A = this chain, B = another copy of it.
Amino acid sequence: MQIIRSIAQLRAWRKTAGRLAFVPTMGNLHAGHLALVEAARQHADKVVVSIFVNRLQFGQGEDFDAYPRTFEADCAKLEAAGVDVLFFPDERELYPRIKQDFNVEPPHIQNELCGAFRPGHFRGVATVVSKLFNIVQADVACFGKKDFQQLHVIRAMVDDLNMPIEIVPVDTGRADDGLALSSRNGYLSAEERAEAPRLYRHLSAIRDALLAGDNRYAVLEKAAADDLAAHGWRVDYIEVRQADTLEVAHAGEPRLVVLAAARLGRTRLIDNIEVTR
């Protein structure tokens, strides 16, 4: 595996690469990321993974400085997964003027769900992903469904700005007890880790109710939120939405997604389940 730190070098290599798949990450890789790499390998001749902890998508008081940097371990995993190139730029390379002057501005959905709790987050994601797409010029990029709203924003952006790339969604990796794999799971204490799967259990229960024809979204949402709160969670949101647009779902909607974000101690966990009925 080649490690490339400069944009110019990556562009030069890209010219030789044939059909190319790209997996952007912030590092601290787990099995969920490796599933993205595996999907990437199935879509192209060569695979680039990037590791870049993007300051732009972290809000004030968020965990930018504390975000785990585990470069050596990440390299070993990517090497073993057969990645061709690791793109590992520093902040100077991606933000040479420190401030990013031009931003890709998503529509109102950027201020809903997770966006309501992380102002500017999806602008930061859309902007850095645009930059990375322009640098890597891959044919395909793989994104996990765990960050469902992020996946939605990226797909809508690619479509709306006519970006010449195909987005491949990849299913959420889960621990045996159902907890969605996430870099932030590493923040959990043993006690919190034992409690954490409750989030997925509630999403699953709402899915089952929806599949049984229940359309009382607000009731289902409130019951889950109340139970989580009773078990020490601070719930940012639990919502049933249209799966394809992320807009508010009306009764009888056939393609739904149940999304949640909630905090256990200092750790914010997110998860979701799609429901087709």
Q: With A131-B162, A161-B134 in contact, do A102 and B104 touch (Cβ < 8 Å)? A: yes
A26 interface residue per 8 A CB criterion = no
A27 interface residue per 8 A CB criterion = no
Query: In the complex, what residue of chain B is closest to A107 when comparing beta carbons?
Result: B101
CB distance from A122 to the nearest CB of B (A): 11
Question: For chain A residues 130-155, which have a beta carbon within 8 Å of chain B?
Answer: 130-131, 134-135, 137
Interface size on A, residues (CB 8 A): 25
* Chain B residues near A157 (CB-CB < 8 A): 102
Secondary structure at chain A's binding surface: helix, strand, loop or mixed?
mixed
A160 near B100: Cβ-Cβ < 8 Å: yes
* Chain B residues near A127 (CB-CB < 8 A): 161
Q: A11-B164, A134-B164 given. 9 additional CB < 8 A pairs? A: A7-B162, A102-B106, A102-B157, A102-B161, A103-B104, A103-B105, A127-B161, A131-B161, A134-B161
26 contacts between A and B (CB under 8 A): A7-B162, A11-B164, A100-B160, A101-B156, A101-B160, A102-B105, A102-B107, A102-B126, A102-B156, A102-B157, A102-B160, A102-B161, A103-B104, A103-B105, A104-B104, A104-B105, A105-B105, A130-B161, A131-B161, A134-B161, A134-B162, A134-B163, A134-B164, A135-B162, A135-B164, A137-B164
